Amino acid sequence: MTVELRHLRCFLAIAEEANITRAAARLHVGQPALSRTLRQLEEHLGVRLVDRSTHHLHLTEAGHAFRTRAITAVAAVDDALDPTRVGTWPLRLGHAWAALGDHTTALLRRWRETHPDTPLELLRISEPTAGLARGRTDAALVRGPARGPHALLLNEPRLAAVPTGSDLAGRAELALADLTDRVIILSPPTGTTTVALWPAAIRPSATAVVDNTDDWLAAIASGRGVGVTTAGTAGIHAYPGVTYVPLTDAPPVPVHLVWTDPPRHPAIPALLALAREVVAG
C-alpha cells in the first residue's frame, strides 16, 4: 500500500481531537472510513499509533514520535503548494511573547542585511511551542524548558512588573517576599511563572489568571495585581502604567532556539549562528 498525504492528515486530526468521531466530522469523512485509513497507516508502518482499547483514545509511544514527523511532512507539503510563497522561502520564527527581548531588532535587521533572499518572518503565537508543534513556524524562541533539537541563547534575569505609582514601583529592587501579599497575575498558556516560584513559607495565596501577555500587562497597569516576568518582556513590551523592577532572589529563565527534527528550513543553522552572535555582541 502507498501512503498518501491523506493518511497523515487523518492521523493528525485523530491525535489533535483525541476522538475518532470528532476527527471524522472535522475532516468531513465517515467514521468507518477514517478508522480504515488509520489502520492502513499503522499496517504500513508496522506499529500501533493509537491505543483504542479504553474509553479514551491515546497515542502510543510510537504515535507520539510519529506525530512530530507527520506534522513536519504535512507542513512541508503545504508550504510547497502555498501560492503566496512561490518564488521565495521565508524562514518563520515563532515566539509566544518578548521574542529575543532587547536583541530582537538587531536580529531582524542583521538577518535582512546578511540574508536578503530569505525573509525572516517573526510570528507571535500564544502557544507553548510558538507554533512549532503545529507546523506554523520553522523555529521558535522558547523560554523555559525546551524539547527536541534546541540551543541555549541566553539566561534572562527575572523582573517584577508592578503598577506605576504604587509603593513597589519606586524601589530599586525587590525580592519575592515583597510580592507575597499581592495578587499575582499569571498567564498559564505561555508564561514561565507559577506560585511554585515562591518558597512554601512565603507563597502568595491570591492569584488571577489571564490568557495572554496583553491581558497580563493590562491587569497590572490597572492595579489589579503584580507579575513576575523576564528582562525580555521589559525590552519589548513597554506598557503605560507598568514599571519593571529587578527581582533579586528568583532564578533566571533560559531562552532557547528550538526547531524540528529534521529541520523544516535549510537556513536554521544560519539563524542560530546569527542569534548567538547578536546575543554575544
pLDDT number for residue 54: 59
- The pLDDT, as a whole number, for residue 199 is 97
pLDDT average, residue stretch 81-89: 70
Cα-based distances in Å from 45 to 3, 38, 67, 165, 240: 10, 11, 13, 62, 55
What is the domain count for the chain? Answer: 3
Q: What SS3 string covers 105-121?
A: HHHHHHHHHHCCCCCEE
Where does a domain end: 30, 53, 80?
A: 80
Residue 245: CB atoms within 10 Å = 19
Asked if residue 123 lies in contact with residue 137, where contact means CB atoms within 8 angstroms, the answer is yes
Alpha-carbon separation of residue 88 from 79, 119, 141 (angstroms): 11, 8, 23
pLDDT tens digits, 8-54: 999 999 998 888 899 999 999 999 999 999 999 999 999 999 998 65
Percentage of residues of the chain with pLDDT beyond 90: 77
Residues 33 and 168 both lie in one domain: no
pLDDT digits (tens, 9 = 90+) for 149-193: 999 999 999 999 999 999 999 999 999 999 999 999 999 988 999
My answer on whether 43 and 182 are in the same domain is no
CA atoms of 48 and 36, how far apart (whole Å) = 13
Q: Note the pLDDT of residue 77.
A: 82
pLDDT at 79 over 90: no
Ranges assigned E (strand) in 85-233: 91-95, 120-124, 139-143, 150-156, 158-163, 184-186, 207-209, 227-230
CA distances (Å), 18 to each of 12, 58, 69, 246, in order? 10, 7, 18, 43
Strand 184-186 vs strand 207-209: parallel, antiparallel, or unpaired? parallel
**Pair (9, 68) in one structural domain:** yes
> Residue 11: which CATH number?
1.10.10.10
Same domain, 34 and 74: yes
Specify the pLDDT at position 84. Answer: 64
201 and 66 in a common domain: no
Amino acid type, 99? A
Residues 139 and 185 in one domain: no
pLDDT(1) > 70: no
Q: How far apart, in whole angstroms, are the C-alpha atoms of residue 39 and residue 47?
A: 10
Whether 260 and 149 map to the same domain: the answer is yes
pLDDT at 217 over 80: yes
The pTM of this model reads 0.76
Are residues 99 and 42 both part of a single domain?
no
Q: Facing residues of 197 across strands?
A: none
Residues 240 and 258 in one domain: no
Contacts of 46 by beta carbon, 8 Å cutoff, 6+ apart: none
Check pLDDT > 70 for residue 86: no
Comparing CA positions, the residue from 27, 217, 246 lying closest to residue 158 is 246
Place of cell 548567538: 276
Confidence of residue 81 (pLDDT cuts 50, 70, 90): confident
Q: Mean pLDDT over all residues of the chain?
A: 92
Query: Last residue of a domain, which of 34, 52, 80?
Result: 80
Assess whether 15 and 31 both reside in one domain: yes
Please report the pLDDT score of residue 141 as a whole number.
98
The residue to which cell 477514517 is assigned? 34
Pair 244, 167 in one domain:
yes
135 and 58 inside one domain: no
Region of 162 (left: φ > 0; alpha: ψ -120 to 50; beta: rest) is beta
Q: Which domain holds residue 36?
A: 5-80
Q: What is the CATH number of the domain that holds 167?
A: 3.40.190.10
Give the confidence band of 257 by pLDDT, cuts at 50, 70, 90. very high
End of a domain among 30, 51, 80? Answer: 80
